[in-house]
Amino acid sequence: MLQMMAISAPVPPGEEFGQHRPGDTGLPRFWKQLVGFRRHDGMEYRCVATSVAGFVQQLVSCYLPHGYWFYVSGIIPPGKDPAVTDEKLIAKYGIGVSRTSRARRKSVGIANVHYIRYGRRFLLLATHGFHPFFDDEAKNIRDVRRIPIKFDGYSISVARGGFLRKPKDGGLPVRDEKWRVRVQIEAEMYKGLRAYFEDIALYRTAERLAAELADLPFEPYAPVRRQLLNVVRYINERRHAARLEPVGFSALRYRRRIVRPFGTVEMTPGTVSKIVKAAGE
């Protein structure tokens, strides 16, 4: 229930969550903006992903790069209608609003919230700012810069970039200080994959191993590609010692599919190129 209460605003890693009490300067102005959060603009808010790839793509391309770093993960229990939960949460946190409304909220220091669900698993994601979300969900909120989102074998986090390419004229590499979204195969899942392929490396033909690698369900984001390339190297180390034919690196997929997160049809090549260019991939 939306009540007049202390509204918590998250702060960068390394600091504690700050508290803003009703007597604090500036709160009334924010509170006026918060009135009516339960209403929405009457627009359709699409939140039900139709595939794992679409769920991950929406997080990686649309939410996390725009500062939706604070999240709550939940599972809708059996016997409960997911659509009812969708409507309840969207109304409770004023999620179904236009881009211009989100921009106005951001300009006065109010957080924005997004909601996405696949099957019975859902995520609520919020930006920095004032919002009842931070009080209602205080015990369950996680920061994706500290605790990755784990979903269907993926580990999704936000971290500082590594190093940029060295200047052409030489010199030391420059550290990338921007926050970057990082998608990997979750650690335990990766260890299991590696152990499995090392175990069968000597008992399958190169063609059969290549087919199994090609069938892996993970989209080849850059960190995922590096993990799978290492799996192929481990396979070939064992096969080389036994003088068996190596598995070609061409067995792996190097370009990820761009899908419609809330639909089942893949996008046209023209749309794909625009999204890839916008994402900087």
String of DSSP letters for 34-90: HTTTT---S-----B-SSHHHHHHHIIIIIGGGT--EEEEEEPPTTS-HHHHHHHHH
The overall average pLDDT reported for the chain is 82
Report the C-alpha gap between 189 and 9 in whole angstroms.
35
Length of the chain: 281
Given the structure tokens 């920061």, which residue do they identify?
143
What is the separation, in whole angstroms, between the first and last Cα of the chain?
A: 42
pLDDT tens-place string over residues 48-99: 999 999 999 999 999 999 999 999 999 999 999 999 999 999 999 999 999 9
Report the C-alpha gap between 93 and 171 in whole angstroms.
50
Q: How far is CA 52 from the centre of its chain?
A: 11
3-state SS class at 109: coil
218 vs 19, residue with greater confidence:
218
pLDDT tens-place string over residues 188-227: 999 999 999 999 999 999 999 999 999 999 999 999 999 9
Report the C-alpha gap between 193 and 164 in whole angstroms.
30
- Which is nearest to 116 in space by CA: 62, 47, 67, 63? 47
pTM: 0.78
Tokens found for residue 142: 């996680």
